[in-house]
Amino acid sequence: MIPTVLLAWLIGISLLHGTHSRAQVPRPVPKQAGICDRIYADVAEMASDLQDILDRCDWDTDGFVLALRKLNHLPPPAGLKAVVLKPYVAGRPVKTVTLEIDVFFNLLQSYPHVLAFPKLEQLTERISSGYEIQDVEIVGYSDRNEHQELTHMTLDTKRAEFIRAYFVAVGVPPERVRTSINLPRHENTATGRARDRSVAVKVHFLSQDQSYAEKVRASIQPIIFSGSLSGNPVATIEVTTAEKGVIVGRRLIRSSGDRNWDEAVERAVYKTDVIPADVDGRVPHKLEISFSPKNRQ
């Protein structure tokens, strides 16, 4: 357990003595240098290398303090997957979509935890299903110890600003991204403090994506196999789902009048274990889906 008061003094004094200069030429690391020596942190530039120092070194080593300062000054990584919005189609229905995620950080850090980046990339992909971003709301938090004893580090602000820079880097117009900070929102326990070292992100965008029922039907329709049919019979199935779209119940609620087609649809639905989520990531508990041969064309 880090003694917070002493840590506040140490980190505060160290971080207030200037910031890392990218123009500085790093010195080569002697073979006998340990990872916690300052000279090792001097040459480390990648987030993974700096995090390795922080994970392996004691908080009162020169290497730890320098690695923390450098990590907290890193910008978002290069090569991020950009938001690519779809074109607006006149006459097609429009809906507003709201997506929310929390991005987490390690103690004293304003560079996100490594697991945050896949989550942010998934969010970017889901935004790309829309045609216009209305706004991105970003709220930065620090845990109760950081908030009370390390106020000079302004971690809540820096965390929010990093996520803002991330969204600008992936192509969101800067004027659509708003940042703010708030007080810790969870209990003062180890779990609560870990949850408070975070940024809450809420995105609103406009979408003309196909209806959810159409999306689910499109995922099942290709595996419907039937014999010869006359006309265009329509069979309606009620699907019941559990967590993450796992299908736990299926039943024919409206027959098409063609037994051949009804049985073909039921077989296809029974072969389907999971249905896709809607654009907001949700899956309804019950859903009625109609199938007809013309849907396959």
Same domain, 45 and 103: no
Q: Residue 14 pLDDT > 70, yes or no?
A: no
Q: Does residue 99 sit within a domain?
A: yes
Confidence of residue 297 (pLDDT cuts 50, 70, 90): very low
Mean pLDDT of all residues in 158-187: 97
What total number of domains does the chain contain? 3
The token duo for 191 is 């779990």
- Is 78 a member of any domain? no
Q: Mean pLDDT in the chain? A: 86
**Which tens digits make up the pLDDT trace of 90-111?**
877 788 999 999 999 999 999 9
| 76 inside domain | no
User: Residue 148 sits in which domain range?
Assistant: 95-207
* Residue 84 is assigned to a structural domain of this protein: no
Query: From edge to edge, which strands make up the β-sheet containing 95-104?
Result: 95-104, 198-207, 132-140, 177-181
Q: Are residues 240 and 220 in the same domain?
A: yes
Average the pLDDT over 169-194 and give the result: 96
Q: What is the CATH number of the domain that holds 193?
A: 3.30.1330.60
**pLDDT exceeds cutoff 90 at 187:** yes
Q: 2-6, 199-203, 253-257: which range is least confident on average?
A: 2-6
Residue 252 above 60 pLDDT?
yes
Whether residue 159 is found in the same domain as residue 229: no
Q: Is 152 among the domain residues?
A: yes
Phi-psi region of 12 (alpha: psi -120 to 50; beta: other; left: phi over 0): alpha
- Over the range 150-175, which residues count as b (16 or more CB within 10 Å of their CB) and which as e? beebbbbebbbbbbbebbeebbbeee
Per residue in 199-214, pLDDT (tens digit) is 999 999 998 866 777 7
Give the per-residue pLDDT at 237.
93
Residue 113, SS3 per DSSP: coil
189 assigned to some structural domain:
yes
Same domain membership, residue 141 and residue 65: no
- What mean pLDDT do residues 263-270 have? 92
Phi, psi of 137 (to 5 degrees): -100, 125
pLDDT at 25: 40
Co-location of 183 and 101 in the same domain: yes
Both 159 and 100 in a single domain? Answer: yes
